[in-house]
Amino acid sequence: MTVITAEGLHKTYGEAVAVRDVSFTVEEGESLAVVGESGSGKTTIARMLLGLEMPTGGSITVCGRPRTPGRVSSKERRRRAREIQIVFQDPYSSLDKLQRAGDVIGTSLSLHFSLTPADLRRRTVELLESVGLGERHADMLPRQLSGGQRQRVAIARAIAVQPRVLVLDEAVAALDVSIQAQILNLLADIRERGEISYVFISHDLAVVNQISDTAIVMHRGEVVERGPTADLLRAPAEPYTRALLAAVPRPGWTPTRRERSS
């Protein structure tokens, strides 16, 4: 089943063109990477998928329903939130600094499900455990958590509503390499446990190599190359993609898909 269809997406800000004629699909359970350097239009695409920005032209369909412009009811916003969620790059700024981790997740649960206080606590702890944390973390403020732990809380909040699609906007870029690997392994585990699709926004081809099935490469708002990630990284056709590969700052990395470690 196709969960996202984007056709001819176009986005302008005044005379500046951020995205030009971009089309792609995401299938159920698939992980699509949108790759490019800063200013390539990839984050604008993420924001349009979430409804945070409306396309100037083209169309987006999520789970079979078109995302039409205009104001929507609170009920419709909740329904859309059940379809697609996002995890941002900086978990510290995306979490309420005065809200404990358990309440961050609990607030999301309360908006979408009718739960007793006991069930809400139980489900919150289950979600924390599903991302490798424990009940003790529920009572911690973001400042008491490490960067990797904060990102785990952000992921738990996003999956709490059981979305069909998770958009990850540079979700591991702010973490050091060892923590990146832990989060990427966690995301792979989550995808294996349920029918969830990823749209993975990144400038880092080493990360893309580990997390995505297919990829589109963005340059100045346009798609310059697309295909299965392993094939695209092994034999890129476009000079821009080759330049991105050459810029990977990881000694010993080669553009072949590596098996995820346990």
Residue written as token pair 């963005």: 218
pLDDT class for 206, splitting at 50, 70, 90? confident
Contact 165, 3 (CB under 8 A): yes
For 188, the token pair is 């792979």
Strand partners, 1: none
DSSP for residue 220: T
Lowest mean pLDDT among 22-26, 194-198, 251-255: 251-255
Contact 204, 173 (CB under 8 A): yes
Mean pLDDT of 212-234: 95
What's 2-215+225-246's CATH class?
A: alpha beta
For 112, the token pair is 């979408």
Among residues 236, 222, 172, 204, the alpha carbon closest in space to that of 42 is found at 222
pLDDT higher than threshold 50 for residue 257: no
Mean pLDDT of 210-233: 94
Mean pLDDT of 126-137: 95
Q: What is the mean pLDDT of the chain?
A: 89
pTM of the entire structure? 0.89
Mean pLDDT of 131-139: 95
For 143, the token pair is 């400042």
Per-residue pLDDT tens digits for 84-102: 999 988 877 889 999 999 9
Please state the φ and ψ torsions of residue 170, each to the nearest 5 degrees: 50, 45
For 253, the token pair is 């990395």
